[in-house]
Amino acid sequence: MTVEIAAVFFIVGCALYLFATEKLPVDVTALAILVTVMAVPILFHSDWLLERGVDLESAFPSVSESLSGLSSTATVTVLCMFILSGGIQRSGLIHVLGKRLFPLVGNSEIRQIIGIGIMVGLFSGFINNTAAVAIAIPLVLDMARRSNLPAARVLMPVSFFAMLGGTLTLIGTSTNILASAILAEDPRVGRELNMFEFAHLGLIVLGVGVLYFLTIGRWLLPSSDARPLHHGEEESFVIELSVPADSPLIGKTLQEAKFEAHAGAEVMKLTRGEQTWIKRARTTPIESRDVIMASATVRQIMDLIKEYHVDVLSDFGDTRKARRDGQLVPILLRNRELFNGRTARAVDFWKRYQARLIGLSTNAVRSRRLASEKLHVGEVALIEISQKALQRLNRNSDVVVLDEYEDDFNRKRMIIAAGIVAGVVLLATLTPMPIVLTAIAGVIAMVATGCISKRDMYADVSWDVIFLLAGVIPLGIAMAKSGAADWLASLMVVHVADWHPVFILLGLYAITTLLTEIVSNNASAVILIPVALSVAELLGLSPLPLALAVMFAASTSFLSPVGYQTNTMIYGTGVLRFTDFIRVGGPLNIILMIVTCLGLYWLWPMNV
């Protein structure tokens, strides 16, 4: 191993550690990678090193190459697809189609699974799968409530089908677009993937997923929810109650006043200034301005606001009270840039949404006071909001409203938005125009026709993904220029030289699946696609099937709720356990690994 290769592997190791531990946000880690690979050849360029055969300048990307991630066709295309997906979501098209589809499935669990697969799976091939899941969550929760089924049994297929649907087209996931850009820049392939080049294998994968959930997976799905969640009515939220000076509770203990019996809320702790009681919360005499942290359902909270001798605090302050003229609505937090560990006060729900934050789901609270509780993607919060503001919130991509309301979406805008996305796909498929060109034109058309506003256009972009791409692309360039990918491939070839091509595909798929659970799907693709190409070159195999094995594996890793954002979203509802993912996703991963690799072997020529 040369010094240049060792330097690249050191940076890769640091990146993997930061991605896995999340000591820094993933986008900040990606920018740190970008700065590092850009700085190394500048800081360590010296005649002394050159005399000893160490040429870091030629092993690392130049300044312009390091910044190429920002202008890469993959980055620009993904950015445009976020905006196009936002336009489709805001038009209400998928929401309306979902509401019309799900009544057709009735109370049959089998028909519900097929319905989820059709809607979420197929739409995820053409819009951002996170948006598809965000829209589907309230629909399937309502379906579970009406069918008297555990919500966990319908939520898990939603996330898994979204990932499987992403394998249908080039624009199905950011991983596909990134892989296409890597292949185009590598001389061993030298071209981008076509829009539907691997759609036949994607349909097989999606079909296998549907069959899995109709057979084996159906029996592995959770038989009950981790905790009750019935369309917002039985969901419990942690709230804070302030004791006013004229309250009859003063001087009594909560136990003496039979607080829990009358209010219906479960007392969690009592706070007075810097003092907090947990075990003695019910037996400590109450004083004015004490704060009671309690767990209650939506109905119980409504009763507390209107009738009981305490003030329900909003926005987690000591003076702002919940009002009586608002509507209580549970929401799912989904904007990773906004809900990335900031407190409720920092987010300021009133300024952003004209809503007051009342409570958080019971599995989300860890702090002494809710004011210091940090918010994260996938958590459920309870807000108080007017009907007019709620209509606006239904169109906001920051959150998902977990309740069913009549929509007033513009039907004309639905048709225009659908036509624009269809035009983007068809022009890229039927003409020589690259997808990046048609996607940019589609964004212009979305804004020009009023399908999306300038403010919403930027709000719909997951900027952490954009900066992640910008940072990991130069790392891939360093892997190739330094020879690190070739060196890693040569080590692998020593052990797999006599293997059948199918087993080589299986090995790459398995490694990618496990790496994706540690780092992001995009990062694992950047690291392993160059290795796959080098393995193909050393063994005289066609590079495309090996690269596709990595791409498919990176997009379909189901083993944990942290491996993919859609898994995080459904896990955040609180009805799923961490172990549910490996129990249901583990067998599916093994089945798909075999099916995908056999499909690659049969559908693509393996020899050069």
Segment 368-388 shows an average pLDDT of: 81
Q: Is the dihedral of CA 400, 347, 127, 517 positive or negative?
A: negative
pLDDT of residue 407: 47
Q: Which range is least confidently modeled, 108-122, 312-326, 573-587?
A: 312-326
pLDDT of residue 232: 42
Domain range list for the chain:
77-228+421-463, 236-401
Q: Which range is least confidently modeled, 171-185, 305-319, 461-475?
A: 305-319
What lies within 8 Å, CB to CB, of 285 at 6+ separation is 251, 252, 253
pLDDT of residue 207: 94
Q: Which range is least confidently modeled, 120-124, 177-181, 224-228?
A: 224-228
Highest mean pLDDT among 177-181, 326-330, 392-396, 406-410 belongs to 177-181
Tell me the CA distances in angstroms from 87 to 93, 333, 396, one per residue in order: 10, 19, 11
pLDDT of residue 318: 45
What residues are paired with 384 via a beta bridge?
A: 328, 356
Class of domain 236-401: alpha beta
Q: What is the pLDDT of residues 449-474, one digit of tens each?
A: 988 887 778 877 878 778 887 888 88
Instruction: Give DSSP secondary structure letters for 132-197.
Output: HHHHHHHHHHHHHHHHT--THHHHHHHHHHHHHHTTSSTTSSHHHHHHHHHHHHSTTT-SPPPTTT
pLDDT of residue 234: 55
Q: What is the pLDDT of residues 207-265, one digit of tens each?
A: 999 999 999 998 998 887 766 554 444 567 888 888 888 888 899 898 888 888 777 78
pLDDT of residue 501: 92
Q: What is the pLDDT of residues 538-556, one digit of tens each?
A: 888 999 999 999 999 998 8
Segment 45-67 shows an average pLDDT of: 79
The strand pair at 327-333 and 340-343 is best described as unpaired
Q: Is the pLDDT of residue 385 over 60?
A: yes
> How does the average pLDDT of the chain come out, rounded?
82
| 11 or 139, which is more confident | 11
pLDDT of residue 405: 41
Q: Is the pLDDT of residue 297 over 50?
A: yes
Contact 189, 547 (CB under 8 A): yes
pLDDT > 70 fraction of the chain, expressed in percent and rounded: 89
Residue 599 DSSP SS3? helix
d(CA 402, CA 149): 17
pLDDT of residue 366: 62
Tell me the CA distances in angstroms from 239 to 258, 316, 338, one per residue in order: 18, 8, 22
Segment 367-396 shows an average pLDDT of: 81
The confidence band for 406, taking pLDDT boundaries of 50, 70 and 90, is: very low
d(CA 423, CA 97): 20
The token pair that represents 19 in the structure block: 């991605």
Q: Is the pLDDT of residue 132 over 80?
A: no
